[in-house]
Amino acid sequence: MRIVIAGGHGQVARLLNRRLADAGHTPVGIIRNAAQSDEVTASGAEPVVLDLEKASRDEVAAVLAGADATVFAAGAGRGSGPARKWTVDRDAAILLAAAAATAGVRRFVLLSAIGADDFDRTLDDDFEVYLEAKSAADAAVRDSDLEWTILRPDGFTDKPGTGKVTVAETVGRSSIPRADVAAVIAALVTGTLAVHRQFEVTGGDTPIDEAIAAL
């Protein structure tokens, strides 16, 4: 499968790239900074330089042409300020979904965040803006005609993956290794499980495929 990943240089994305490449798939990583190309290539993906904050729907659709699926794993990141939470975490995700529809790419996996709907507009806080932006992106994708899945992990760690998770519409707060988030995305994007489902995910005791199949 040819799988296009927005935010292809991110920590989760690079783990996903490697997992997909090792399984015989062809990951394509969309990146904003050409200087990241070598690292994306080393992770097993084909880098494509395209700034999703500036690109048109047709430009993104051209990258998606011929793909079997796409993943939004981009994020403005810490210290980026509230404006880029809107332009990346919300607008770029919505743009990718629209471009996927244009390109005829039906399978769409969106990496969101636990508690995205629990933001507090009264707080002048970048994290609350981040949650609100994620919530808006999730809502737009849910309203699309794509074969979407939205996963909302809790706090990431760099511990080795266990291959086991807890998933449900709502789960208790915990952490999850980035490697396991990548493994969940890989299972979703290469199969047909959890289409039109949104769920939270943390570390747990259930094997990933079994956990997703039970949703």
Supply the residues annotated as catalytic. 130
Helix axes of 178-189 and 11-22: crossing angle, nearest 10 degrees: 50
**Residues in contact with 161: Cβ distance below 8 Å, sequence separation at least 6, in sequence order:** 177, 178, 179, 180, 182, 183
Residue linked to tokens 């707080």: 123
Euclidean distance between CA atoms 133 and 135, whole angstroms:
5
C-alpha distances in angstroms, 178 versus 96, 111, 136, 196? Answer: 22, 12, 24, 23
- The strand pairing partners of 166, in sequence order, are 202
Contact of 140 with 93, CB cutoff 8 Å: yes
